[in-house]
Amino acid sequence: MYDRVVSNWTIFRIALEERLVYRADFAMGTLMRFLPIITQIFLWQAIFLSQARDQLAGYRYKDFVAYYLLTMIARAFSSMPGLASGIVEQVRNGEIKKFLIQPIDLLSFLLLGRIAHKCTYYAIAILPFGLVFFLCRDYFMDGFPDGLTFCAFLCSLIMGFMIGFFLEAAIGMIGFWLLEVSSLLFIYMLFNFFLSGHMFPLDMLKDVQLWGDWSCFDLVKLLPLQYLAYFPAAVFLKKVEGLELITGLCIEAGWLVFFIIFARCTFRMGVRRYSGFGG
C-alpha cells in the first residue's frame, strides 16, 4: 500500500512538473476562450428584446450569461481532449504493452496525468477566470451562493471530472476491438455538445413533448452527459435545490461508480484479446 502511494505521488509530481514547463500559454489561452461569451451576451439580449419576455424556461437574460460562464468552468473540468484517441493509439502501436509488463495501472496513470493537468490549468488560469467573472459580476443577479450550495457545486464539478475521464477512457478501450474510433468519437462529441447543456440550458427542453407526460428534458435527465456542464451550473444558480439537489448528486455518484467499473471491466476484457508482437 505504501509503495503504491509513493509510486502514484511520483507519477503525479512528474506530470505536474512537465505541465508547468510547457503550459505557459494557459493564461492567455484561457482569457481568449471567454471571448465567444460576448456573442452569447448579444445573442440572448436580442432574443429577450424581440420576445419582450422577462424569462425563458425560468432563466432571466442575465441568468443565461451567468449560465454560459459557469458551463465553461464545468466543461474545463469534464473535458478530456485526446484521452480516448490516445488510448487507441497506444493499443494500435503496441505502447500499451508497458502497462502489461510493469507494475503500473493504465487507468491510474492516465488519471493522475489528467489531475496534474487540471491542477496546472487552474493554478495558472485562476487570474483570467477571476478577471472575467469580476467583469461579468453584474450578471450574477442573486450573488454568490451560500456555503452549502457552493460545496454541492464543487462536488458536482469533481464528480463531473471523474465521469468525463472514465467515460472517455471506456470509449478508448474500444481500441482493443476497433483500431480506429474517430467516427465514434465524433458522434460522442456531437451528442455531448448538445446533451451536456453546453449549448443551451437543458430546462428549455421541458416544453418539447415526446409522448404522454414525458418531455425531452425528462429523457435527457436520465443520461450522464448533463453532469458534464448543465448540472454544476444549475446548482450554482440554485435552479436545483433541496431534495432534487440531493437526488441529483446521488445519481451523479451512481453514474461515476458505473463508469469506473465499466472502464475497468472493458480494459480487462480488452487485455485478454490483445496480442503484442515485437520488442
Compute φ and ψ for 34, nearest 5 degrees. Answer: -85, -10
Q: How far apart are CA 108 and CA 8, in angstroms?
A: 8
Condensed to tens digits (0 to 9), the pLDDT of residues 228-238 reads: 999 999 999 99
SS3 211: strand
Q: What is the pLDDT of residue 260?
A: 96
Condensed to tens digits (0 to 9), the pLDDT of residues 6-61 reads: 888 887 877 777 766 555 566 666 666 666 777 777 777 787 777 777 787 788 88
Q: Which one, of 110, 105, 115, lies nearest residue 88 by Cα?
A: 110
Which segments in the chain show pLDDT lower than 70?
Answer: 19-35, 276-279
pTM: 0.86
Cell numbers for 181: 474510433
Q: What is the pLDDT of residue 50?
A: 78
DSSP string, 100-123: HHSS--HHHHHHHHHHHHHHHHHH
Q: How far apart are CA 88 and CA 180, in angstroms?
A: 7
The continuous run of DSSP H or E covering 274 comes out as none
Q: What is the pLDDT of residue 99?
A: 84
Q: What is the pLDDT of residue 276?
A: 63
Torsion of CA 122, 124, 127, 133, to 10 degrees: -30
Amino acid at 244: E
Q: What is the pLDDT of residue 134?
A: 85
Asked if 205 and 223 touch (Cβ cutoff 8 Å), the reply is: no
